[in-house]
Structure 1
Amino acid sequence: MAVNGQQTTSNSACSDDEFWLFGYGSLIWKPPPHVDRRIPGWVTGYVRRFWQASQDHRGTPEAPGRVVTLIERSFWSSLVDSHASAPDKVWGVAYRIKASKVAEVKDYLDIREINGYTIHYTPFQPADGSVPIQTLVYIGTPDNEQFTGPQEPQALAEHIARSEGPSGLNRDYLLGLEKALNELSPESGDAHVTDLSDRVRAIEAAARGSKGTEDGGPKVSRVAESSPGSHDFHMATIVDTQEETEKV
């Protein structure tokens, strides 16, 4: 496997008998195939941000959505970000893949992560305090074409609220990530994700209120109707069998 055109062989999370993958986005609630162990925990040295465009899952080439990536904390600290603070721990989940399925899953992940993500390795600390695990992680680095950089939060929330792609509504990805993170641990929430989620909920509430006023009828909750997994919009590809393997 290659990162930025170079083979990554040192500190590999893959071996002949096991393979560990770190998920920090939709992988938290949409695991890859052939998982035989799931461990909540965190990595350090990074910041999670909705700074990666999505042309293939939560948007289209003509109207890209937004998904998360990891930013090296040292680089992030040099930027002007309206969300000026970030937790020291980026919570997520480590997955161990069955030994007999490692090659298959590696090929699957390579296919899934073609929209700007490259392979990296990072130590993962299990929440139960056990020994750290070296994990493979897909990251959309600042030099990839889909990286957007800092965005004004309200504009970003409005962009997410209106975006949709083959894997469904962009807001479902955001709200699904908020829910999945909050379920990992009492301390696993992410203020960046929660703020955007609150803004999207406010946008949806305003839209419902406006529609209710215009129609003179009851206000229907579009958020409830459009909960993760409820949409019928599909693309006849590998997306049908597994939602984005992260946007990670």
Structure 2
Amino acid sequence: MSGCCARDPDAMLALLRAECSARGDVWVFGYASLIWRPEFDAAEHRPALVRGWHRALRMRSQINRGTPQQPGLVFALMPGGACRGFVYRMRPEAADAELERLWGREMVGGGIYDPRFLPCATPQGTVPALTFTLSRRSEHYTGRLPDEQVLAILRHARGRYGSTLEYLAATACALRERGVHDREIERLMRLAARAGLVDRAVDQPPATRRCGKRSESRSASVSTSTSTPASSTGTPTAG
């Protein structure tokens, strides 16, 4: 459904709802902040692997984690490679309202992401999940930035949801706690630590000592399963 409806957010949401209705269960793939700040109560979650896409801190953010004057960075799912994250199944009775809320968060003003359903491999089988991806043709795609430029962004960029540094650190911590190792994220955290931007002992900005601290109350409501015993995971509770 990416690129449809001339990026009219209402038309895109209507199309998404129709597709979700036809599919039955609504799954969402989380690869960054949707892990530690999902914004909806999931009936079930599972660790998942998406092939053909990878997580990259290469999307410009001028609202959430930066400003037009000092843009920040957020993660996007980019073509190529593979990505480990988590899939969340929305509660059927609340899926329509939760989709609208999720859409408002991820696709404000028509959005930058290209939403699409991707096959996500889980221990219980493959499920198609709604995923927010980014095209390299997007004007918000930064490409690979020099480390010096990334550090400048980590030092200064802050938006309505906080800083790029806090966002990176929360994602790194959430993945690490759940047994997901992302070499590029860990490299960026070491880069930030060497620059004195994070506490070397806990890899957190000085003002954010606990992983996902500001989102724990919402994250804690996600259960491993409310349907079948086979759907529970062996990993720590996902956010």
TM-score range for the pair, normalised by the shorter chain length: 0.7 to 0.9
- Are residues 165 and 230 of structure 1, via their aligned partners in 2, closer, same or farther at CA, if it must alter by over 3 Å? farther
Distance in 2, matches of 1:192 and 1:222, equals 17
Contact 1:43 1:123 in 2 (8 A): yes
**Alignment partner of 1:19 out of 10, 19, 26:** 26
1:142 aligns to 2:160 (yes or no): no
1:151 equivalent in alignment to 2:145: yes
Q: Could you tell me whether the CA contact under 8 Å between 2:169 and 2:205 is conserved in 1?
A: no
The whole-number CA distance in structure 1 between the counterparts of 2:21 and 2:74 is 26
Structure 2 equivalent of residue 173 of structure 1? 167
Partner of 1:69: 76
Instruction: Compare the two structures and name the one with the higher helix fraction.
Output: 2
The aligned length equals 201
Q: Is the 8 A contact 2:169 2:204 kept in 1?
A: no
Residue type matched to 1:172 in 2?
E
- CA gap of 1:138–1:51, structure 2 versus 1, over 3 A, is same
Distance 1:242 1:4, change over 3 A: farther
**Equivalences for 1:230-245 in 2 at 5 Å?**
none
Aligned: 1:59 with 2:51: no
Q: Distance in 1 between matches of 2:174 and 2:143?
A: 24
1:119 maps to amino acid: P
1:224, distance to aligned residue in structure 2 (A): 3.0
Give the equivalent residue in structure 1 for 2:181. 189
CA distance in 1, matches of 2:204, 2:85: 28
Identity %, equivalent residues: 22
Query: Where does residue 94 of structure 2 map in the other structure?
Result: 101
Amino acid at match of 2:196: E
CA distance in 2, matches of 1:156, 1:116: 21
**Farther-moved stretch of structure 1 (147-156 vs 191-200):** 147-156
Q: Deviations over 1:186-239 (max 9, x none)?
A: xx211111111111122225x99xxxxxxxxxxxx98232346678xxxxxxxx
Secondary structure at the aligned position of 2:196 is classed as helix
Q: Work out the CA distance in 2 between the residues paired with 1:230 and 1:133.
A: 30
1:71 maps to amino acid: M
| Paired residue type of 1:224 | P
Q: Give ranges in structure 1 of 5+ residues lacking alignment.
A: 74-87, 209-220, 232-240, 244-248
Equivalent in the alignment of 1:41: 48
Matching residue of 2:36: 29
Q: Please tell me the residue identity of whatever aligns with 1:176.
A: A
**Bigger radius of gyration:** 1
List gaps (5 residues or longer) in structure 2.
6-11, 220-239
Partner amino acid, structure 1, of 2:181: G
Equivalent position of 1:202 in the other structure: 194
In structure 1, C-alpha distance between the alignment counterparts of 2:59 and 2:132, rounded to whole Å = 12
SS state at 2:154 partner: helix
Once the two structures are TM-superposed, the CA of residue 172 in structure 1 deviates from its matched residue by: 1.0
Are residue 113 (structure 1) and residue 112 (structure 2) matched? Answer: no
**Paired amino acid for 2:68:** P
Give the TM-score normalised by the residue count of structure 1: 0.71
Distance 1:123 1:16 in 2: 13
TM-score with structure 2 setting the length: 0.74
Q: Which one of the candidate residues 226, 231, 234 is aligned to 2:208?
A: 226
